[in-house]
Amino acid sequence: MIYLDNSATTKPYDEVLHAFSQVATRFFANPSSLHSLGAEAEKVLTQARRQTAALLGAEESEVIFTSGGTEGNNLAVKGSALARKHHGKHIITSKIEHPSVLESIKQLKEHFDFDVTYLQPDEYGMITIEKVEEAIRPDTILVSIMHINNEVGTIQPIEQIGEMLASYPKIAFHVDAVQGAGKVPLPLKHIDLCTISGHKFHGLKGCGALYMKKGVKLLPMLSGGEQEMQARSGTESAALAASMAKALRMSTERYKSNREKMNRQKHFLLNGLANMDTVQINTPAGQSAGHIINFSVPGTEAEVLLRMLEQEEIYVSTTSACSSKRKRSSTVLLAMGKSGSVASSSIRVSLSYDTEDKDLERFLAVLEASVKKLVKLAR
């Protein structure tokens, strides 16, 4: 089996599964309970928060555990916008954000009368600093721009955008860093809210974290016992938090020793794809992450090609996992100015630190044969 769909989810590390099992078995009590078992569970939770904060470059009190990227993005976008609405009701985002951001903003627009500016990316999927600054108005209270695009891998100039927004104290800056955590470092200096999700870096599904800079206010989306610094109610899972902290530590360490390998593999794939006449590469070779490669075969159906690869036990995806079952054309590629034919035939390949060179050689060989067969049938 060759698994090349790591941007959808990653295989949990064995050490992560072991950590979860150990903590879930031994420290099963409610961390909010006053007895000694609860206190032990709370210590594990605190240690996981401390480790996660250190790896992100944050303070312990700035880390809120969530159920994953979708909840984190909903809490950051809706929570910060509703908490700041007395300052204004204008939001800036881009047309290529993850659905959990775009749908959250859509709700704010339709049900709470917020006004939204959707920034257009350039042909490489980039949102420029100039476009963000041009869109700022006196009533702007939130900017939400993702770190790495989940479909084409473009890395946005987050640090520079953050530095610019530092001159606008009434504007909260949210970054969806789900695709970058453990793979592409991101300093949090000028970021107010930042989302990560454990299953994207070999943790377990059901656990994520939201960085919330000290002093930033949120309206909680879940009411109850006021856990997680009163921002996210619900009984915490010490086991999930501990296993995610372990996954983040392991992935961060593996980044240091594997980033050159991943970048080399990316360019190996790009060169191989470039040698196929009917393939169009959508991922920019320059300012893009090492683990995401997007391409199209215009005139063919992406799902058919995906199934052909699957028959050879090679697993890739079409668009993002959250949108692929809808059988829609890639809205990201359409926003980048690509044709409908390109957008409807796109395939995403996403690597992990465990991807081997021989896997990619096999993938390119099977892909080339499959594409030739599809193109021949289409004539």
Q: Catalytic residue numbers?
A: 322
What amino acid occupies position 26?
A: R
User: How far apart are the C-alpha atoms of 8 and 221, rounded to whole Å?
Assistant: 25
Secondary structure E strands in the chain: 2-3, 63-66, 90-94, 115-119, 140-144, 172-176, 193-197, 208-212, 280-281, 292-296, 314-315, 346-350
Distance from C-alpha of 154 to C-alpha of 158, rounded to nearest angstrom = 12
Nearest by Cα to 178 from 186, 166, 170: 186
Where b means 16+ CB within 10 Å and e means fewer, 320-355 reads beebbeeeebbbbbbbbebeeebbbbbbbbbbbbeb
**Count of alpha carbons within 13 angstroms of residue 222, beta-carbon side:** 22
CB 111 within 8 A of CB 104: no
Put residue 132 in one of left, alpha, beta given phi > 0 → left and psi -120 to 50 → alpha.
alpha
The answer to whether the beta carbons of residues 348 and 293 sit under 8 Å apart is yes
